[in-house]
Structure 1
C-alpha cells in the first residue's frame, strides 16, 4: 500500500472532507452565538426522569412529548431567534453531510429520523444541547470523528449545568403521570419554605371508592400507639368493610401516603396536633400510619421537652410527644378541647372553677409554637353547656368574667374563640416563616333517633348510606372556613367526606360507654381519621 495522500481511496477522502466541513460549520455557528449563555439550558418546567417507578430501557417518551417541548419553546420570544438560527445551521450541516456521504442511507436521513427516547434526555438538557447530541451520535454511527469544539461545548455545558443544579434542585417528574415525585434526599429548610400547596385541588369534593390496599395498618396491630377503646378489630364488631374505602377527590389525584416518605418529608421537623379527643384520634392514626402498625424500637419519648408529663393526681399527661430517631421527626398531641387558655381561678383551692379565656390561645401554643413546623388545630364537640358545667369552666373575655349576654350563647363563644386563635396564629407566622398551620374542620356526629344520652344510635353498617358524593365548593364547616379566610392558616376540610361515613363509628361496641349508649362521635381505627391524615399529607 502506498503511503501518503496519494494512497487514500475515494471513500476515505470523502470522510476527511466531511470532518473538515462539520468543523467549519460548527465553528461558524459558535461565532454567531457569542458567549456561553446562549448554550445554557432554558428554565423549562419539563424535566424527564425515568428512574422512578419505570425502567429506562423499556419506556419511550409519549407521542405528544415533542409537541409539549415545542409549544414551551414557542412561548419564549427571547430564545426564538437563536433557536431558528441554530436550526438553519443544523439543517445546512445535515444537507452537506447527506450530499457527501457515500453510504447506502444518507447521514442527513439518519439524523432527521433519530427518535427521541427517554434515555437520551438528561434531567435538565436544553433543546440546543439535544440537537448537538443528535449530530454527535449520528456522526459516530458513520465513523466520523467529531470536532473538538463540540467536546469543549459539552464540558462547558456540563459545568454550567452543575452550577445551576447546585443553586436549585428541580423536582423529578414521573413520565407517566406528570406528577412531581418525592426525592429520597431530605427536605431542606429552603425547599420546605418555598413549597407551595396545590390550590387547584379541593380535597373535600369527591367520593369514597373501594380499595383492597386498605387499611394502611392492621386493626389487630399498632398496639404501641392505638388505644384499645378505638381499636374496633379488638371488639365484638364483625363487619369491617369500613376499613377498605379510599377517598377520591373530584378532578384531581391525592398523593399516596407512605410512612417512609412522610418521615423524609418531615426530617428534622415537628408535627403537632392540638385539640380535643378527635384530635387525639388523628394523632394516634398518624402514628400507626407512619409506623405501618409495626412495633418500632427507634422511637424516643420526648414528652418532657414539652411539659407532657403526668401531673400529681392525674391519670395521664395532657399529651404525648415521640421522636423517630431515623429522621429526627417529632409527632406530638396536646389536649386542648376548647382551643382557648384555661387556668384555675384559685390555685390554692382544689375545687376551684377555671377561667376559660375566649380571646386567649392556650399557654401551650404560646410557649412552644416556635418549635413546630406543622400545626393542626381542632375544636368543636366540647362546646356545650354540659361540658362547661362538668369542667367548671367560666367564660372570660379581656381577662375578666364575661358580661356580654350574646357571648353567653355557646355557639357565639365558640365562634369567638376560633376566630381569636386563628387571628393570633396568623399574627405569629411572620416570626416563623417555616411554620405551616392547618385548622381541621369539625368531625361530624351521626346520632340517629336521639342524642348520646337519650338513645341515639348509629347501627348502620352500609357505607355511604347518608350520601354518595360531595360536590359543593364551599366547606361543610362554614365557621372554620370563614375564620381562616384571608389568613395564612390553611383549611383541613374533612367534614363533608366524613359526613358520608356514618358506619365508621364505634357505635354499640364502645368499651367505655354505659349500657344502652352508643359512641357515634369517635371513629373506629383504622378508619376515617386515616383519610384526614392522607389529606393533610397531600397539603404539606
Structure 2
C-alpha cells in the first residue's frame, strides 16, 4: 500500500538519508538487535493510520520485508480478526518465536472509547468518550511491555460527522462549549488517556509507555480536497537540522508533563522531509488528489522506530 517503488515514482533519494542526533551516538537498528532487546516482550502501537504506518515500518525493518515461516499471526489472541463485511481487522499481532516477541497494532483513530448508542441499530451513532481509554487498551494493558500511543489527524468536524461520533464526558453527552471545539476535545482526550496510562504504571513496573507526537502534513497550495500538493522530490530542501529545543507538538508535551509516560518526538525531524510522502504516487490514486499525510515505506517512519529503539 505504501511501497512507492511499486508506483510510477522514479526518484528514491528520500530513502538514503538517516537521522543523526547531535552529540549523541544512536545504536544501529538491526532486526536481530531489536528482537534481542524485546526478548519475551510485547510491543503495542495504538493509534490512527500513522500509528499503523509506524507498525508496518517496524515489521518490515525487522523482517527485511520478507515472508518468514517464523513470524506467526496471533491477532486472534487479541480479538483482532476481520469482522464480516469489514475491509480489514481492527489491527494485527505477530509473534516472533525465536525471541518470544510480539508486535501488534490496534486501530484507534481518536484514542478514546467508542460505544454504539444503540447496538441493535447498524446505523447508530457512537458515544465518543473523550475521558475514557479504548476498551482494547483497558483490557490488554497488562500484556504489554512497550506501548506507543498516537492520535491527531482524525480530529476534525468532517471525520466526526462521517463516523457518527458524539462527544461524551463523564458518561453523558458533552454540554461544555469549550470542550465541544475540536481542539478542546482532542486536548482533553490526550491528557485523559496519558493520565490514565500513568495511573496504571505502578501496577506494571516493567511497562514503558510513549506518546508519539503528531506526524506533520505537507499540503502546499491547498488541502487534500482542494488540490493541495507535495511535489518536491529534493530531500531537505527546506533545511537540514532541527534548531529548536522545544517540541512542535505542545499538546503532547503538556500531556506527558509530570507523568512517567515519555514523549516520542518525531514532529520537527519529520517536518524537514516533505519529499517523503506518498504524494501523487498512491497505488490507488484519485486523479488530482495527493496524499501529503502518509509516507512512502521504506521512509520517514523508519526513523521514528530508530528513535524508539534508542529510547528503549
Instruction: Indicate whether the TM-score tops 0.5.
Output: yes
Number of the residue aligned with 1:294: 66
Hey, what's the Cα distance between the residues in 2 that align with 1:235 and 1:513?
Answer: 10
Hey, what's the Cα distance between the residues in 1 that align with 2:309 and 2:205?
Answer: 19
Match 2:259 to one of 484, 487, 500: 487
2:303 aligned with 1:531, yes or no? yes
Number of the residue aligned with 1:261: 33
Number of the residue aligned with 2:108: 336
Question: Alpha-carbon deviation of 1:464?
Answer: 1.2
Within a 5 Å distance, the mapping from 1:401-480 to structure 2 comes to: 401-480=173-252
Q: 1:222-272 deviations in whole A, cap 9, x for unaligned?
A: xxxxxxx20000000000000000000111111110110111111110000
Hey, what's the Cα distance between the residues in 1 that align with 2:189 and 2:52?
Answer: 20
Question: Alpha-carbon deviation of 1:293?
Answer: 2.0
Match 1:306 to one of 64, 74, 78: 78
Q: 1:251-303 deviations in whole A, cap 9, x for unaligned?
A: 11111101101111111100000000000000000000111222211111111
Match 1:369 to one of 138, 141, 147: 141
Number of the residue aligned with 1:148: none
Hey, what's the Cα distance between the residues in 1 that align with 2:172 and 2:300?
Answer: 40
2:8 aligned with 1:236, yes or no? yes
TM-score by length of 1: 0.57
Q: Which runs of 4+ in 1 moved over 4 A?
A: none
Which structure's relative contact order is higher, taking Cα pairs within 8 Å and 6+ residues apart?
Answer: 2
2:58 aligned with 1:316, yes or no? no
Q: 1:25-80 deviations in whole A, cap 9, x for unaligned?
A: xxxxxxxxxxxxxxxxxxxxxxxxxxxxxxxxxxxxxxxxxxxxxxxxxxxxxxxx
Hey, what's the Cα distance between the residues in 2 that align with 1:512 and 1:467?
Answer: 31
Number of the residue aligned with 1:395: 167
What SS is found at the alignment partner of 1:249? coil
Q: Which structure is higher in helix share?
A: 1
Number of the residue aligned with 1:498: 270
Question: Alpha-carbon deviation of 1:469?
Answer: 1.1
Q: 1:317-348 deviations in whole A, cap 9, x for unaligned?
A: 10000100111100000000000000100000
Question: Alpha-carbon deviation of 1:316?
Answer: 1.3
Q: 1:196-231 deviations in whole A, cap 9, x for unaligned?
A: xxxxxxxxxxxxxxxxxxxxxxxxxxxxxxxxx200
Change (3 A) 1:513 1:394: farther
Long gaps (5+) in structure 2: none
2:123 aligned with 1:351, yes or no? yes
Q: 1:155-178 deviations in whole A, cap 9, x for unaligned?
A: xxxxxxxxxxxxxxxxxxxxxxxx
Q: Number of matched residues?
A: 312
Hey, what's the Cα distance between the residues in 1 that align with 2:238 and 2:252?
Answer: 23
Long gaps (5+) in structure 1: 1-228
Q: Which structure is higher in strand share?
A: 2
Q: 1:460-492 deviations in whole A, cap 9, x for unaligned?
A: 001112222102111111100110011000010
Number of the residue aligned with 1:508: 280
Q: 1:77-117 deviations in whole A, cap 9, x for unaligned?
A: xxxxxxxxxxxxxxxxxxxxxxxxxxxxxxxxxxxxxxxxx
Hey, what's the Cα distance between the residues in 2 that align with 1:293 and 1:350?
Answer: 38
TM-score by length of 2: 0.99
Number of the residue aligned with 1:161: none
